[in-house]
Structure 1
Amino acid sequence: MNPQKSIFLRSLQANRVCFFRNPILKPSPALQRRHYSQHNEHKTSFVEPYDVVIVGGGPAGCALASVLSSIKAFDGMRVALVDSGKLEDIKQWKPPLDSYLSRTLQITASNKVYLENHGLWSQCYADRMQPYDRAVVTDSLGGGVIDLAAFETVESVQSRSSVAYMIETKNFVSGMLKAIDCATGCVVTFERSRVVEINNNNSTSYISRLPIVSLSNNRKLQARLLVGADGASSYVRKCAGIGTYGSEYLQYGLVATLCLEQLNSTAYQRFLPTGPIAMLPFPGGFANLVWSLDSDHTQLLKSAPEGAFASLVNAAFRLSACEMQYLYNIVRDGASESAITAEADWRLEVFARNNPGISSPKLLPPTIAAITPKSRTSFPLRMRMVDSLIANRIALVGDAGHVMHPLAGQGLNMGLEDVQCLADVLKQAAVAGEDIGSVPVLMRYNKQRYVRNLAMQGIVDKTWHIFGSNSRPVVTARSLVMNGLDLFPTVKRFLVSSIINEEGASHEEQLLSACMMDQSNLVEELLKAPHSVKVNFKNGLGYTALHYAAQTGSIDCIKLLVAVQGVNPNIQDSMEKDTPLHKALIHCDSSETAMEIAKLLVGAGADPRIVNKKKQRPVDLTEPEEEDIRRLLLQATLAIAVRQEQAEMEMGDEDSYSSD
C-alpha cells in the first residue's frame, strides 16, 4: 500500500461556527449503510458525523459543496463546508454599481455549461458577467500575432459562441453559497471557523478510524471523506503527508480594475520581456488587468500614481521594450504623475502616427481612461503539482492540488474539472453503495484527474518559458509560428476548440502532453491502460507523441513508443514537415542523446531520406563532429535502398513467372 494512504492527519486551524443550513434530512434505511446516521455511537464525545467535510470556502470548495447539494444521490447525506472567512457576508454580497473587483475568474464555456446544468450559474449576478468571443495574443519582441475567435471552432462547439466568461471571484462564490441555500439541505456551512486539529487514532473500530476535525468552539466533525480545497498553501495537504514539486517563477501577478474609453468584449494579451500582460473584458467598459512582473517592477508599478499607471498600461500594449524601460526609469527616478503621463502619451501619439495600420481593435485593446482607485494588488506566481491528489480518506481539489501561471487562465477551470470529476465519482459510489472515502473510490478520481492536471501544467509552463526567452532564434521561431496560424485554419480551430471543449483532454492528448514533459511513467500508464490509445494521433500542429518525445530528448518515452505495434516514425508535422528524426537532431542538447534517439527511431523504421519544408534530410542537420550519427543515417539509407531493390527484384521475378 502507498505509504501516503496510511498517514493520518495531525492538526489544522479553526474559529467558531456561525451559521447553519436547514436541519439534516434523516436518511432512508437503504442509505444508512453508506452515510452517517444519528446513532448514539456517533454522538459520544460530542462528535458530529459527516459524510464529506470540505475545508476551504473559496471557488473550488464552494463549487464542490453546491454541486453535491444538487445531486439526488446525496439526499440524506451530510456535507460540511468549513472556512475561516465570513461566508454569510459573501453570500449576502450586494455588488457596487460603479466598479468591479480586481480578483476575477475566467470560466471556460464547458465549465459554465456544467454549472448551468446543475442550476448553479443562475445564482450569480448575470449582469456582472462578461462573455468574450475573441482573444488576441501578441509578441512584443518578434511581432507575432494570434487572433483566436470562437466562430472558428468546429461544428460540435459552434452552438457556444463564447470562448470564456469573466466573473468576479466574490460573485462566483456568492452564487455557489446561494445555490446551497436553494438545495435540499445536505450541506452545513461553518463560517469563520479555523480547524485546530484533525486526528485519526489506530482503533480497530471503523468509526474511530475516521478523521475527526476539531474546531475552536469544541465542535468536532467526523468525516468519511475529507476534501482539501484550502488553496495553494493547503494545510490539509500538508497534514496528509502529500508532497509537492514545482518552481517559483520569481514573478508577481499585478491585478487591477481598468476603466476603458469604450465597450469591449475581446481579451488581449501581450508577451513582454518582463512578463505577459493581459486585459480581460467586463461589462460597461470595465476590464480586469493581470500583469506578470518581477518583484522590483511590481513594487514600482503598484506605487506609481493612478493616472500614470493607466498611461503605463496603455504603453505596455503598444510600445517597444526599450521605450517601456525608459518609462520605468523615470517612474523609478521619482518623476511626477503629470511628467510620467505626458511622456507616455507623447510616445503613444508617435506610435499611432507611425503605425496607422495596426491601431485597430482587432490588434490593440481600447485605450484605458483610468483605473479603479485602490484596486491594485499582487500575488506571487509559482508552479506546484502534488505527488497525488488523494491520501487516506482525503482528496484535494483546485489550488490545493495544482498551482499554475495565470497566463492561460486555466487555474480555476482545472479546479472546476476536479470538482466535476470528484462529484461524479462520489455520485457513482453512493448509488453503488460503496464507501465514498475508500481507496478504490478515491483512486478513480486520482486516475482521471492527475494526468490531465499534469498535462495542462506542462503546457502552461512550456509556454511561459518559450515566451520568456529573449533569444533571437527563439523570438523569430515563435513569431513565425504565431503569424503562420492564419495560414492554417484547422490549427486555429483546434486551439480554440481545445479551450472550450467540455470533454477535456483525450487519452491521445494526454499522451502528447506526457511526452512533451518527459513523463515516461505517465506514457507507460497510458499505453498499458485498458482503453486503446492511437499512438500515431496528430494534434492541430501535426505533432505525434514521437515528435514531442524526440524534441524533448526523452529516450525513455521513445523506447516505450517504438515498442507499440504500428507506430509510424515517418509522420511529418504540418508546419515544418519535420519527422521525429528531424526534431531530435534539431533540438537534442547533446550528441549522445541525439545518437541514442536516432538509433531507436531508425530501428523502428525511420526513413532518413525524407526531407522537410526546407529540403533538409536529417543528415543535413548533424554537426561536423557527429560522425557516428551521420554513419548511422547513411547505413540506414543504404539498408532501405537494398530492401527496396530486393523487393523490386522479387516483383520482377513474379512478373516473369506469370508471363511464362
Structure 2
Amino acid sequence: MAQSQAADRNYDVVIAGGGYVGLSLALALKTGDPAIAVAVVDPKPGEALAQDPRASAIAAAAVRMLDQLGVWADIAPETQPINEMIVTDSKLRDTVRPVFLTFGGEVTDGEPFAHMTPNSVMLPAMHQKAAGLGVDFITPDSVTEFATRGERVALSLQTGGAVTASLLVAADGVRSRLRDLAGIRTVHWDYGQSGIVTTVRHERPHNGRAEEHFLPAGPFAILPLKGNRSSLVWTERTADARRLVNSDAFTFELELERRFGHHLGQLELDGKRQAYPLGLRLARDFVKPRFALIGDAAHGIHPIAGQGLNLGFKDVAALAEVLVNARRIGQDLGGLDVLDRYQRWRRFDTYQMGVVTDVLNRLFSNDMDPIRAVRDFGLALVDRMPSLKSRFISEAAGLAGPTPKLLLGEAI
C-alpha cells in the first residue's frame, strides 16, 4: 500500500483518522467528485490495517454504500450473512433460555439485513481503493493542533509538517482529542460495564444465526463468522470483565461455556481477549467553522443494538452528500452554512439512537423479576406483530428515516 508523507500541502478536506469511517468518507468524496483533494492523517501505518483481529456487523444500508463505492466485491467473499437472529432473556443459572423474539434475516429477497465482516479484510480493501482514487495518506502521523485562518484551516502534524484545508474532519474515535481542541463539549456517562470481544471456534455450524442473550450483567451476543466460528461481544461489569480477560484460558473458557451454552458443540478460543469500557458519549455539536465530527468522535453508544459503526457510516453518507452537492454549486466546503446541513441531518437521529440504547441497557442489564416479566411480555408481543418486527429489521438494516443516497445504493 502506497503511503504519502505529504506535508506543507493544501487540500479541500483532511480526515484525521484512517479507520472504517475515515476511509469510507475519503472514498465517498473521491467517488462523488474526483476533483476534491482529500488527505487522510493516521498514526498507524497502512500495513497495520490487515492486523486487526476483530469483525464488524455491517448493516444492509452500509453494504449498499460500500458496493456503490466499489469495495464490497473485494470484501464479500470473506463475509458471513446473518440469516436469522434470536433474542433470549434469562438468568445465568437458568438451564433453559426461552426464545422471546426471532427475526428473519432479509430486508429484501436475497439481501441479508447484515453481514459479519473481518476488519482485516475490510480495512485494507478500503485503503487500497482510496489510494487508487488519489487520496493522500499521511502516515504514521497525527494532527496535533489546528487553527482557522480565513477560508482555510491550518493543521500542525506530529512529525513537524503542516497542511491546510477547507475542512478538517475528525474521525479519531470516542476519546477524540480534536473534538476537545475544537471546544465541543459532550454529554457522557459511564455504564460501569466493559465489552469483552473475542472469537471462538465451535464444533457445529451456526447456519448464519446471530444470538443475543440478555443476562443480568448485560447482553451476550454471538455473531456468526465464515466457517464454524463466531465473534462474541460479551458485556460484564467492569471489574468482572477485567478479571475474566486476565484469567487463565481454562477459567475463561468455563465462564464462556456457561453463557454460550452447548448447542454448537465444543468451543475453542480462536483469538485474543480484549475488553473495552462502555458508556454513552454524545457531542453537543457536530460541527464548528471548518470542522466536523463523524463516527465515534461524534457519538459513542452501547453495543446492545449493534449500531455504533453503522451510525458512523450514516454520518459518512450524509456528510459526503452535503459536501459533494455544495462543491457542485460552488459553495465553501468548510462554511458553517454547508456544515449545518450535515448537523441537522445527523444529530437528532444520533441522539435518538443514544437514548434507545441507553434505555435498553438499563432495562435489560438487571436481575429484578418484575422488570424481567414486563420486558419478556414486551418481547413476546413484538414477536407476534409482523409490522413492528419489519420496522425493527429496517432499523437494524440502517434503512429507517431520511436515508442518504449512498445508503440506498445510489450515486451522489
TM-score, structure 2 length as denominator? Answer: 0.90
Aligned partner letter, 2:104: A
Aligned partner letter, 1:366: L
* SS of alignment partner, residue 70 of structure 1: helix
Query: 1:160: how far off?
Result: 4.4
Q: Aligned equivalents of 1:492 and 1:429: distance in 2?
A: 38
Q: Aligned equivalents of 2:270 and 2:248: distance in 1?
A: 12
1:161 aligns with 2:58: no
Query: 1:102: how far off?
Result: 4.4
1:296-346 per-residue CA deviation (whole Å, 9 max, x = no partner) reads 21122223332443342221145xxxxxxxxxxxxxxxxxxxxxxxxxxxx
Q: Aligned equivalents of 1:376 and 1:261: distance in 2?
A: 20
Q: Aligned equivalents of 1:255 and 1:217: distance in 2?
A: 33
Partner residue in 1 for 2:259: 316
Picking from 246, 253, 259, the partner of 2:201 is: 259
Q: Aligned equivalents of 1:409 and 1:368: distance in 2?
A: 26
Query: 1:471: how far off?
Result: 2.5
Check the 8 A contact 2:62/2:398 in 1, yes or no.
Answer: no
Aligned partner letter, 1:165: H
Larger relative helix fraction: 1
Aligned partner letter, 2:224: P
Q: Aligned equivalents of 1:148 and 1:392: distance in 2?
A: 43
Q: Aligned equivalents of 2:111 and 2:26: distance in 1?
A: 29
1:110 aligns with 2:96: no
Check the 8 A contact 1:109/1:160 in 2, yes or no.
Answer: no
Partner residue in 1 for 2:4: 20
* SS of alignment partner, residue 222 of structure 2: strand
1:83 aligns with 2:34: no
Partner residue in 2 for 1:127: 77
Check the 8 A contact 1:144/1:479 in 2, yes or no.
Answer: no
Aligned partner letter, 2:71: L
Picking from 478, 486, 494, the partner of 2:383 is: 486
Partner residue in 2 for 1:427: 324
Query: 1:419: how far off?
Result: 0.2
Q: Aligned equivalents of 2:36 and 2:145: distance in 1?
A: 24
1:356-398 per-residue CA deviation (whole Å, 9 max, x = no partner) reads xxxxxxxxx523421025x111111010001111012101000
1:419-440 per-residue CA deviation (whole Å, 9 max, x = no partner) reads 0000000010011110011011
Within 5 A, what are the aligned runs for 1:273-352? 273-318=216-261
Partner residue in 2 for 1:369: 267
Partner residue in 1 for 2:394: 497
Check the 8 A contact 2:59/2:115 in 1, yes or no.
Answer: yes
Question: How has the CA–CA distance of structure 1 residues 301 and 367 changed in structure 2, closer, same or farther, with 3 Å as cutoff?
Answer: farther
1:111-146 per-residue CA deviation (whole Å, 9 max, x = no partner) reads 10111012122233x332111121111001495621
Query: 1:248: how far off?
Result: 0.4
Aligned partner letter, 1:63: S
Check the 8 A contact 1:258/1:368 in 2, yes or no.
Answer: no
Q: Aligned equivalents of 2:265 and 2:339: distance in 1?
A: 49
Within 5 A, what are the aligned runs for 1:130-279? 130-141=80-91, 143=98, 145-151=100-106, 157-183=107-133, 185=134, 187-200=135-148, 206=150, 210-264=152-206, 265-279=208-222
Q: Aligned equivalents of 1:478 and 1:506: distance in 2?
A: 29
Aligned partner letter, 1:172: M
Query: 1:490: how far off?
Result: 2.3
Higher RCO by CA contacts (8 Å cutoff, separation 6 or greater): 2
Check the 8 A contact 2:14/2:168 in 1, yes or no.
Answer: yes
Query: 1:76: how far off?
Result: 2.7
Check the 8 A contact 1:144/1:480 in 2, yes or no.
Answer: no
Query: 1:484: how far off?
Result: 2.7
1:56-82 per-residue CA deviation (whole Å, 9 max, x = no partner) reads 1111111111221212x2x23311100
Question: How has the CA–CA distance of structure 1 residues 299 and 196 changed in structure 2, closer, same or farther, with 3 Å as cutoff?
Answer: closer
Aligned partner letter, 2:79: M
Partner residue in 2 for 1:63: 24
Larger relative strand fraction: 2
* SS of alignment partner, residue 119 of structure 1: coil
Please tell me the root mean square deviation across aligned C-alpha atoms, in Å: 2.2
Q: Aligned equivalents of 2:315 and 2:127: distance in 1?
A: 19
Q: Give the aligned length.
A: 396
Q: Sequence identity, in percent?
A: 30
Check the 8 A contact 2:100/2:383 in 1, yes or no.
Answer: no
Larger displacement relative to structure 2 (483-492 or 377-386): 483-492
Partner residue in 1 for 2:337: 440
Q: Aligned equivalents of 2:9 and 2:104: distance in 1?
A: 51
Q: Aligned equivalents of 1:253 and 1:195: distance in 2?
A: 29
Q: Aligned equivalents of 1:501 and 1:245: distance in 2?
A: 24
Q: Aligned equivalents of 2:217 and 2:395: distance in 1?
A: 28
Partner residue in 2 for 1:390: 287
Query: 1:48: how far off?
Result: 1.9
Q: Aligned equivalents of 2:130 and 2:53: distance in 1?
A: 25
Q: Aligned equivalents of 1:79 and 1:67: distance in 2?
A: 11
Q: Aligned equivalents of 2:144 and 2:132: distance in 1?
A: 30
* SS of alignment partner, residue 107 of structure 1: strand
Within 5 A, what are the aligned runs for 1:436-475? 436-475=333-372
* SS of alignment partner, residue 278 of structure 1: strand
1:440-493 per-residue CA deviation (whole Å, 9 max, x = no partner) reads 100000000000111111111111111023222211011112123333222222
Q: Aligned equivalents of 1:179 and 1:294: distance in 2?
A: 40
* SS of alignment partner, residue 112 of structure 2: coil
Q: Aligned equivalents of 1:274 and 1:469: distance in 2?
A: 7
Q: Aligned equivalents of 1:505 and 1:416: distance in 2?
A: 14
Q: Aligned equivalents of 1:435 and 1:84: distance in 2?
A: 28
Question: How has the CA–CA distance of structure 1 residues 440 and 191 changed in structure 2, closer, same or farther, with 3 Å as cutoff?
Answer: same
Partner residue in 2 for 1:48: 9
